[in-house]
Amino acid sequence: MGFQKKPLSKKDIEAKEERAMEEVRRIKMPRKEDLELLGVITNRVGGTQIMVLAEDGIERNCRIPGKMQKKIWMRADDVVIIKLWDFQKSKADVIWRYTPAQADYLRRKGIIDRILEKMENQ
């Protein structure tokens, strides 16, 4: 005798779709003046290290800060915002990970198409 989930009503389904659309209304975008770039995760290197292909075409070694390590899981092909280090431009910190709905929105708008094209060419 296990717990059975009751089926969602039409009202619940509409509310769920509304929340998904609400999520896409405002999206955090990278601020160029703060050395922030869009990127796509190519692979994980170690515990807190990932490789990210940035929008400028350079693949960088990025660090996941402590406040994001346990709360937000990063996987390959996730879209992220990275902040370049002031003293070493080949490395960066991940400051934001887009949800799948937000990433789809960015793809539809063509914002991350050039990053994906660079990934396919490599």
pLDDT per residue rounded down to tens, the chain (122 residues): 555 667 777 777 777 766 666 555 677 888 888 889 999 999 988 888 999 998 888 899 999 988 887 788 888 888 999 999 989 888 999 999 988 888 888 888 888 777 777 666 66
Count CA atoms closer than 13 A to 92's CA, side-chain side.
25
Residue 73: the pLDDT is: 82
Q: Are 90 and 99 in contact (CB under 8 A)?
A: no
3-state SS class at 118: helix
Label residue 7 exposed, middle or buried (CB < 10 Å: 0-12, 13-18, 19+).
Answer: exposed
Tell me the CATH architecture of domain 30-116. Beta Barrel (2.40)
Residue 28: the pLDDT is: 81
Q: Which of 31, 47, 46, 49 is nearest to 90 (CA)?
A: 49
CA distance 59 to 21: 32
Tell me the β-bridge partners of 39: 54, 80
Nearest-5° angle of CA 108, CA 113, CA 119? 140
Secondary structure letter of residue 32 according to DSSP: G
Residue 70: the pLDDT is: 78
Q: Are 75 and 41 in contact (CB under 8 A)?
A: yes
Secondary structure letter of residue 3 according to DSSP: -
